[in-house]
Structure 1
Amino acid sequence: MAYRRDNMRGESDVFRKIRNVFTSLNDKLEKDVQKHLQAVYGTLALGLMAATVGALLHLFVDFLRDNFFTLFGSILLMIALLKTPHTHHNERKRLGYFIAFCALSGVSSGPIIEKALMIDPSTILTAFLATAVVFSCFTMAALHAPSTKFLHLGGIITSGLLFIMITAVFSHSAFMHTTCLWLAFVINCALVLYDTQLICEKRRR
């Protein structure tokens, strides 16, 4: 009975600590920064949904299979998004470009998803959950850290990406391929830290 009571107390402490991780952000982040982050992650959620729809279209619509225009269209949309000035008047236009770009990117990722379904369908759910956990953990780490702690990672991230690009072009060994995969994973984790703090600092300034 005492063991069960101690176990329940331990579980309640864990849930309380997890809750404090989120509630303490109200004291650390300014109100306008919180609203800006909500808008950013809301836009990210829309992009993920659009990419999911695009991937499903690839699986069920034969016309979109191996179509060059999807890649060409995504490049044009990315250029249009970068060239459109970031003003209040252009917000809806930029959001439309972003959602369309995500949808076409989802179509382009369709072949990889299709191959994963053929090998082991559970891989997709595992990858989704693992990505969500990693993204959430590194985002919370960036939000709770001192406001400019990870901004110095920009140069390291750029150097790492350049190394991966050069290695992918000139090296074809299995060892370097595996090394680049793990390095890309580390760089993506660092990007979450860097971009999260950059978003907050841009809003403050």
Structure 2
Amino acid sequence: MDFLDRNINFDALLKFSHISQSTQQHLKRVYSAFAFCMLVAAAGAYSSVVFGFLQGNFLIFAGTLGTMLWLMFTPHNCENEKKRLGILAAFAFFSGCGLGPILNLCIAVNPSIIPTAFMGTAVIFICFTLSALYSRSRSFLFLGGILMSALTLLTLSSLVNIFIGSVFLFKVHMYVGLLVMCGFVLFDTQLIIDKAERGDKDYVWHCVDLFLDFITIFRKLMIILAMNEKDKKKERK
């Protein structure tokens, strides 16, 4: 049959002719820095779980926030590039250490949760990233206001739930939060493209946006899977 003889042109699938060459080069730098962040964060998470490094310590919060602010206020130029990459590595390491408590919880409940959540996060991130890249009209930029409003409501609901202690509200917060973060992958990817087209080529800071999206989705997926696993164990008893 004729359709069996047709070959899929993968090169054509990976071409983004609607994105300028300079922006494509910028995106390569962004995702290279993102891959670097993932490796450093993995090292931080490993150090936290295996060696108990900075686990549950206020220094994690201070280090993460401090390095992010340091990076934010360090100008993007050729002279500062290596310095900013070093700050980015420190930020990623502290972020990885911050996952330690949740990783330990998942290990206690069911160790298979961690690779499952990571693979799920990777699939979500790749799918939404490709959707944003293939969209020609920056059609997802309108989501910015909606996502920020949703994020504000989620933050307020989590603060209220500190006093209420509702398990149902916590679960709703996790699932809705996961959906919102998926939207942020779409929005942030297209915003990076739009900024690059306008001349903003700060690939280090753009990497931070995507890295935070990935880490947040990963964290929420682990919590959701851990909750579901606990519920299943209760039902068996």
TM-score by length of 2: 0.76
**Contact 1:77–1:100, Cα closer than 8 Å, also in 2:** yes
Q: Deviations over 1:100-127 (max 9, x none)?
A: 0110111111111112112211111111
In the alignment, residue 30 of structure 1 is paired with which amino acid?
A: S
How far apart, in 2, do the equivalents of 1:67 and 1:194 lie? Answer: 32
Q: Does 1:22 align with 2:13?
A: yes
1:147–1:201 CA contact under 8 A, matched in 2: no
Q: 1:49 aligns with which of 39, 50, 53?
A: 39
The amino acid across from 2:58 in the alignment is F
1:140 CA drift (Å): 0.7
What are structure 1's unaligned runs of at least 5 residues? none
Which of 1 and 2 has greater Rg? Answer: 1
Counterpart of 1:84 in structure 2 is: 74
SS at 1:112 equivalent: helix
- 2:100 aligned residue: 110
Structure 1 distance, partners of 2:76, 2:126, is: 27
**Quick check: 126-135 or 167-176, which moved more?**
167-176
- Distance in structure 1 (CA, Å) of the matches to 2:53 and 2:114: 24
Structure 2 residue matching 1:24: 3-state secondary structure = coil
One-letter amino acid of the structure 1 residue matched with residue 60 of structure 2: T
- Is the counterpart of residue 33 in structure 1 residue 26 in structure 2? no
Matching of residue 144 in structure 1 with residue 134 in structure 2: yes
Q: For 1:141-163, what per-residue CA distance to the aligned partner results, in whole angstroms no more than 9, with x for missing partners?
A: 11111232111111001101100
Deviation string, structure 1 residues 71-125 (Cα, Å, up to 9, x no partner)? 2222211111111112222121111111101101111111111121122111111
Instruction: Please state if 1:70 is matched with 2:63.
Output: no
* Deviation of the 1:179 alpha carbon: 1.4
In the alignment, is the contact (CA less than 8 A) between 2:53 and 2:97 conserved in 1?
no
Counterpart contact for 1:147–1:197, Cα < 8 Å: no
- Aligned to 1:16, the other structure's residue is in SS state coil
More helix by share: 1
> Which structure carries more relative contact order (alpha carbon 8 Å, separation 6+)?
2
157-166 vs 110-119, which moves further: 110-119
| Alpha-carbon spacing, 1:28–1:140, altered in 2? closer, same or farther (3 Å) | same
* % identical equivalent positions: 35
Q: Within 2, Cα distance between the matches of 1:123 and 1:58?
A: 18
1:122 equivalent in structure 2: 112
Distance 2:175 2:107 in 1: 23
Please state how far the C-alpha of 1:63 moved relative to its aligned partner: 4.7
- CA positional deviation for 1:29: 2.1
Counterpart CA distance in 2 for 1:30 and 1:48 is 27
